[in-house]
């Protein structure tokens, strides 16, 4: 395969968990534009209607499927529907995330709600679809982790204590990174690669942070700014593609140098 072609997802069937938000929508656009037949798994089809419609109108093959990552039977049903409709699964992107916690002192019930999606749900989906790809002898999984799974919080970045990030996110993103390594070891002999992408702070133009936060955050990076959603998408496409055929168990940091400055 020629080098440019190896970066394409043309002919691949890719399943994306988590198609909402400024990163989820950008991933839908990027994966579809790279040529994948893309299935967006969501608990509510209405939540991804606009992004799916935009991709479809642009001539891409994008489909929405309802599934609950917290339910193993729901994941089995999703797997069976995707295989029946498309014949195979070549790639999976785990971008689903739940953020019920707002602070350190929240009720423990919110911690448990978070883990149901971000820990148990991630493992359940990885096992169901990892097994499906391993049965064919090929595939690639990409987990959207976070640099906050690698470092502790810098509370001084934030404008007030009320804006401090809650602890559950740090816990489950760190677990996601190391479970990625476990999954890579398990599925590698069966032809399935498993990698993580750890973004830094992503700028949401619709809800920009304060100028003070942007200035302080910029000082923490080598590039002097937050990321834009498309800048996270390129590494995900790369890891799904044949260009990354000898990469597995990796955690690709996409954080402007934040964790090494």
How would you label 100-125 residue by residue, b for 16+ Cβ within 10 Å and e otherwise?
bbeeeebeeebbebbbbbbbebbbbb
**pLDDT value of residue 1:** 59
196 forms beta bridges with: 143, 251
Q: What share of the chain is helix, strand, coil (3-state, %, to 5)?
A: 50, 15, 35
> Which residue range is the domain that position 221 belongs to?
3-260
**Whether 28 contacts 48, CB under 8 Å:** yes
Residues in contact with 232: Cβ distance below 8 Å, sequence separation at least 6, in sequence order: 23, 26, 27, 144, 197, 199, 202, 254
Please tell me the total count of domains within the chain: 1
Radius of gyration for the chain, computed over Cα atoms and rounded to the nearest angstrom: 18
Distances, alpha carbon 251 to alpha carbons 20, 46, 64, 77, 142, in Å: 23, 32, 28, 30, 10
Q: Are strands 192-199 and 62-66 parallel, antiparallel or unpaired?
A: unpaired
Q: What is the pLDDT of residue 66?
A: 95
Residue 2 pLDDT > 70, yes or no? no
Q: Is the pLDDT of residue 36 over 80?
A: yes
Q: What is the CATH number of the domain that holds 57?
A: 3.40.50.720
Answer yes or no: are the C-beta atoms of 43 and 67 closer than 8 Å.
yes
The pLDDT of residue 261: 76
The per-residue pLDDT for 46 is 87
**Taking a C-beta distance cutoff of 8 angstroms, is the pair 98, 152 a contact?**
no
pTM: 0.95
Has residue 113 got a pLDDT over 90?
yes
Mean pLDDT confidence for 153-163: 94
Average pLDDT for 190-207: 95
Give dist(CA 254, CA 194) in Å, integer: 17
């Amino acid at each position: 395969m020629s080098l440019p072609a190896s970066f394409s997802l043309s002919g691949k069937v890719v399943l994306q968990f988590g198609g909402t938000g400024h990163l989820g929508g950008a991933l839908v656009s990027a994966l579809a534009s790279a040529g994948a037949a893309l299935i967006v798994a969501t608990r509510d089809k209405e939540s991804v209607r606009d992004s799916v419609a935009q991709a479809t109108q642009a001539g891409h093959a994008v489909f929405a499927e309802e599934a609950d990552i917290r339910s193993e039977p729901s994941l089995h049903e999703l797997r069976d529907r995707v295989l029946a409709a498309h014949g195979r699964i070549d790639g999976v992107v785990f971008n689903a995330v739940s953020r019920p916690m707002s602070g350190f002192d929240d009720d423990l019930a919110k911690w448990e709600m978070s883990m149901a999606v971000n820990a148990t749900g991630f493992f359940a989906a990885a096992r169901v679809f990892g097994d499906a790809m391993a049965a064919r002898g090929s595939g690639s999984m990409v987990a959207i982790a976070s640099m906050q799974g690698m470092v502790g919080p810098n509370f001084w970045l934030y404008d007030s204590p009320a804006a401090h990030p809650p602890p559950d996110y740090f816990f489950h993103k760190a677990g996601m990174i190391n479970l990625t390594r476990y999954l890579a070891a398990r599925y590698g002999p069966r032809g399935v690669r498993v990698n993580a992408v750890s973004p830094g702070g992503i700028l949401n133009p619709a809800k920009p942070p304060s100028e003070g936060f942007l200035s302080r955050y910029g000082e923490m990076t080598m590039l002097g700014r937050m990321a834009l959603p498309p800048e996270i998408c390129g590494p995900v496409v790369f890891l799904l593609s044949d260009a990354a055929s000898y990469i597995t168990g990796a955690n690709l940091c996409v954080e402007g140098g934040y964790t090494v400055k």
